Structure 1
Amino acid sequence: MTPKKTDKTRPLLTVKDVAELDNCSEKTVRRAIATGLLAVTRVGPGGRLIRIDPAAHAAYRRAQIW
């Protein structure tokens, strides 16, 4: 799990990275994104690639306390 770097050298996480950190499936992460629970940044041509800021992931984790 190696975070991706942008031109600002800020590490961003992929959907797979978040799924591994949360011990869940990528589909669960994509559902959280679709419902607006997890904020993402879209990059690449046409905005097809999804990247998650570690701060947004931390906020999502805090909101999901069971």
Structure 2
Amino acid sequence: MTKPTKPSNRLETLLTVQEVADLDGVSEKTVRRAIATGALDVLRIGPGGRLIRIEPAAHRAYRNRSRE
């Protein structure tokens, strides 16, 4: 008999739009603009992809690009 696997804790490591805004010291609207222009890569989760989550690596890449 195989041991059941644990559910992934990946969602716990993903950031929300508000968390990214707080980390960068900008408004949520600024983060949403970056998403709309494609400057910040996101994951869309749930029915219709309404929930937006950002991987920490994507956030770091966005911050590095915006500082250049």
TM-score (norm 2): 0.83
Counterpart of 2:65 in structure 1 is: 63
User: What is the alpha-carbon distance in structure 2 between the residues aligned to residue 54 and residue 62 of structure 1?
Assistant: 12
User: Identity of aligned pairs, percent?
Assistant: 67
Give the greater-gyration-radius structure (CA). 2
Gaps of 5+ in 1: 1-6
Measure, in 1, the Cα distance between the counterparts of 2:23 and 2:47.
27
Amino acid at match of 2:25: N
Q: Is the helix fraction higher in 1 or 2?
A: 2
Separation of aligned partners in 1, 2:16 and 2:47 = 16
CA distance in structure 1 between the aligned counterparts of 2:41 and 2:33, rounded to whole angstroms: 12
2:44 alignment counterpart: 42
List alignment gaps of at least 5 residues for structure 2: 1-6
Aligned residue pairs: how many? 60
CA RMSD after TM alignment: 1.1
Larger % of strand: which? Answer: 1
What residue identity is the alignment partner of 2:50? Answer: R
